[in-house]
Structure 1
Amino acid sequence: MSPARPATVFTLHTIAALLLCFLLADLTHSAPVSSSLEPPVALREAAERAKTLVEKIVRDIPAVHAAAVTTEGLTLDSAAQSTNLQLMVTSLGIPAAPVLKPPSEHFTLDVCVRRMLAGGRLYQGLLGVLSERVSGLSNLQADLRDLLTHVAKMKEAAPSGGEEAEPSLDLASRLHGDYEVQVAAHLTLMQLKSFCHDLIRSLRAVAAYRPRPPTKR
């Protein structure tokens, strides 16, 4: 009966060693998961710088509008005019800005940042067309250019699935007279202001974003 004891001891040692290996492997595997939930520092810093710049753009838009749009009745404060000018949005071919939402499982960080970039490029293009017919837009263009630089850095720091489709602009060919130019400048600045408010909310959410850990099977 005595030869059975070493086999029993050997079996217990083997089981303990295997359990220890499984435990170490599980700890080693789980460590990167928690660290990967932390957004890159470069992403958070770029988001904070972008948010500061967008807040400046929002503050500057009223003064830019007052300098660029001189037609009576076209003001940023009038809510009723949006209905009256809705047909002009279609007539002038001014695209709507990409929809922005805070990052989530259904609206990924990648999509959020790509739409930020697409929206910034849209308004950079619109202001570029308008600046050939309207004065007072140069500072706003410069701020948008800097904003795109920060958002591009966010895109580099975040996982990217490609580029967001950007609408084609046909604004230049539709600016037949001063009235169309004034209305186009007014609508562009109004839409830019609204887009910037969405952008601030999304940038604030990106800076604090923590993706949910993967569900264990």
Structure 2
Amino acid sequence: MDTWTVLKMLQYFLFASLVRSAPAGLPSNLPPEFRETALKAMTLGEKILKDISAAHAAAVKDFSLDSSTSNLQSMAVMMEIPLSPVIQAVSPEFPLETLVSHMLAGVQMYQNLLEVLSSKVSGLDDLRADLRDLLNHINKLKEVAQLTVEVSDQNPSTNLASHLQNSHNVPVAFRLTFTRLRSFCHDLNRTFKHLSKLSAAGAR
């Protein structure tokens, strides 16, 4: 094998290695602390999912978290319960800055919703505390990755509170909020797991 061929092969493998070490949309050279924080956030997300099931079972007797919600969606629109921000895999079109921004906005949004619901339903203190801790972990991811992320505080609390004067609306609002929070947390956990693997691959 001649020298030129050897050099071209080395160049190819070096390029392939660089591509693997910097996944598209993810900053290169992320410190180990990024992966550690992502794993801690995922563990907390799993705890939040358990808290959601327990709080829902204690507060809502008419329907379970897994029952059909098709007939409740119009109520969600009427009570102005917002949809979760989109959470998807990091890519050139959806870079880490955008992902973290959506994570922060979503957690803040659910904090605000639970604050309103807690005035009508008891037993939400642990869940609210866990969401506060989750927000801290996501902010830590932002700091470790040195991201410039701006998040507007989505605060639908005033609108939701105005619809909870009718006692029938309270369990419906609780049900819809918890269903969407659960789905949001599942998306977060999948993403935290994905980020921990990508950052580990990039460190090699």
- Scaled by the length of structure 2, the TM-score of the pair is 0.80
Which residue, 34, 48, 52 being the options, matches 2:43? 52
| Distance of 1:87 and 1:42 partners within structure 2 | 43
Q: Which structure has the bigger radius of gyration?
A: 1
Question: Cα RMSD over matched residues?
Answer: 2.3
Which residue, 173, 190, 193 being the options, matches 1:204? 193
Counterpart residue number, 1:18: none
* 2:160 pairs with 1:171: yes
Q: In the TM superposition, what whole-angstrom CA distance separates every residue of 1:53-97 from its partner, at most 9, and x where no partner exists?
A: 001111222111011223x2x211213xx1100101101111111
Aligned length: 177
| Distance of 2:154 and 2:47 partners within structure 1 | 26
Structure 2 letter corresponding to 1:78:
S
Q: In the TM superposition, what whole-angstrom CA distance separates every residue of 1:131-182 from its partner, at most 9, and x where no partner exists?
A: 0110111111111111111111111112423313443402111212211111
Q: In the TM superposition, what whole-angstrom CA distance separates every residue of 1:104-136 from its partner, at most 9, and x where no partner exists?
A: 222111111111111111111100110011011
* 2:183 pairs with 1:183: no
SS across alignment from 1:99:
coil
Structure 2 letter corresponding to 1:109:
L
SS across alignment from 1:103:
coil
Pairing 1:1-217 to 2, within 5 Å after superposition? 37-70=28-61, 72=62, 74-79=63-68, 82-169=69-156, 170-209=159-198
| Distance of 1:95 and 1:154 partners within structure 2 | 25
Runs of 5+ in structure 1 lacking a partner? 1-30
Equivalent residues of 1:68, 1:137 under 8 A apart: no
Equivalent residues of 1:95, 1:167 under 8 A apart: no
Equivalent residues of 1:65, 1:189 under 8 A apart: yes
Q: In the TM superposition, what whole-angstrom CA distance separates every residue of 1:172-198 from its partner, at most 9, and x where no partner exists?
A: 112122111111111111100000110
Identical counterparts, % of pairs: 45
Runs of 5+ in structure 2 lacking a partner? 1-17
Query: Structure 1 stretches (4+) deviating beyond 6 angstroms?
Result: none
- Scaled by the length of structure 1, the TM-score of the pair is 0.75
Equivalent residues of 1:98, 1:119 under 8 A apart: yes
Structure 2 letter corresponding to 1:53:
L
| Distance of 2:153 and 2:87 partners within structure 1 | 14
The farther-off stretch of 127-136 and 157-166 is 157-166
Structure 2 letter corresponding to 1:171:
L
